[in-house]
């Protein structure tokens, strides 16, 4: 599959654009489309609390708590696995840290675990664009699960 090019999005109050892409998230029979910041400095994919509720996750039923740090120090987060479509690419399962902060306080993020394990990203801020290209499964060395233990993710 070939790469797709996206425009940087201007977000107030920042004077420059940010690499934001709309992603479609699926869980059971529910689907939402949300903007997500493609963040090579983020360790994890982040899902704000209200997005998780819209997808039908139940906070009280989560079992696999994740440690948080940085800007999320002190926040609660749980591991959830969500089917995701970016642009016209093939759907994939992405691991998210579902965080107890709403989307008006915290943006959805696509980070190192495990978005960057599935996609090659080229940032060209000077041109106001970024490119995303799926990594072909046969081109990955090692375990395609990237060391993630599927048993920790809530699929219910």
Which residue's entry shows tokens 């992603």?
A: 23
- Predicted confidence at residue 71, as pLDDT, reads 84
CATH of residue 53: 2.40.70.10
User: Rounded to two decimals, what is the model's pTM?
Assistant: 0.86
Residue 97 pLDDT > 90 = yes
Q: Where are the beta strands (DSSP E) in 71-127?
A: 77-86, 92-99, 108-110, 119-124
Helix (H, G, I), strand (E, B), or coil: what is residue 121?
A: strand
Number of domains observed in the structure of the chain: 1
Structure tokens at 72: 């999320």
The Cα 41–Cα 23 span in angstroms is 19
Burial class (CB in 10 A: 0-12, 13-18, 19+), 118: buried
**Cβ atoms of 38 and 20 closer than 8 Å:** yes
Domain range holding 101?
A: 4-152
Residue 143 pLDDT > 80 = no
Residues 6+ positions from 138 with CB-CB distance below 8 Å: none
More confident residue, 11 or 112: 112
The Cα 108–Cα 44 span in angstroms is 10
**Could you read off the pLDDT of 29-38 as tens digits, one per residue?**
999 999 999 9
């Amino acid at each position: 599959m070939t790469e797709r090019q996206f425009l940087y999005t201007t977000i107030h109050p920042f004077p420059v654009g940010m690499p934001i892409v709309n992603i479609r998230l699926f869980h059971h029979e529910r689907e939402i489309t949300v903007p997500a910041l493609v963040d090579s400095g983020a360790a994890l994919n982040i899902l704000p609390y209200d997005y998780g509720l819209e997808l039908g996750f139940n906070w009280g039923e989560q079992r696999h708590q994740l440690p948080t740090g940085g800007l999320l120090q002190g926040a609660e987060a749980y591991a959830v696995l969500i089917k995701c479509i970016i642009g016209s690419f093939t759907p994939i399962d992405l691991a998210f840290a579902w965080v107890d902060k709403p989307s008006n306080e915290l943006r959805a993020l696509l980070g190192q675990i495990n978005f960057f394990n599935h996609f090659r990203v080229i940032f060209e801020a000077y041109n106001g664009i970024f490119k995303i290209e799926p990594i072909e499964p046969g081109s990955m060395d090692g375990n395609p699960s990237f060391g993630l233990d599927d048993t920790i993710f809530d699929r219910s």
